[in-house]
Structure 1
């Protein structure tokens, strides 16, 4: 099983649609006994939270976020945890909004100290 996500900071490798999570967004993950949760913020997202479960290399969680324009949105995401050759962690994500139309895929990777 890939290592724990607890305490890791991850960031998207590419911008999503305007007004959503992007490369300036940072996710701080926590993990304990099969539970995962994270806080995230940056770019158009003022504050976001996700909560769910981990089974092996699979994460299943729901997320909710507040954007700069004062609107909120929520959705569901399933991610696969991948350990990169340099030891960092990548999440291959498949997500779907529940509060509005839209779905897609994204990739977030662990940010290391020197990435800023």
Structure 2
């Protein structure tokens, strides 16, 4: 089981461990996180997502953020996500996410994990 982690997300690259529904983030999507003084933000792209951004806050190991993205088909979408930050046994960071679209129907859970340089 993953253990709590208070280490910074700043500069980390994370990727989903599984594909979501078509037109959403997937295993080819890469999130580059930034963190400063309780604020978090990230840029992401890959797969069906041309460009995405998220912005929010961190309190301990809980992230609360909103995201917006542009997909390859030219449509945009946005939503809200709450994530729990954990550390894997090998020291990498894992985010266990619960998300809900605000611009369209749908919600779910997902997991993203820190990628190593060779997996980028």
Alignment: residue pair count = 114
1:53-112 per-position Cα deviation (integer Å, ceiling 9, x unaligned): 000000000000000000000000000000011000000000000000000000000001
User: Runs of at least 4 residues of structure 1 off by over 2 A?
Assistant: none
Question: 1:35 offset after TM fit, Å?
Answer: 0.0
Alignment partners' CA distance in 2, 1:96 and 1:115: 28
Question: 1:30 offset after TM fit, Å?
Answer: 0.1
State the SS of the aligned residue for 2:24.
coil
TM-score normalised by L of structure 1? 0.97
Alignment partners' CA distance in 1, 2:69 and 2:39: 19
User: Gapped runs of 5+ residues in structure 1?
Assistant: none
TM-score normalised by L of structure 2? 0.94
Alignment partners' CA distance in 2, 1:100 and 1:113: 35
User: Gapped runs of 5+ residues in structure 2?
Assistant: 1-6
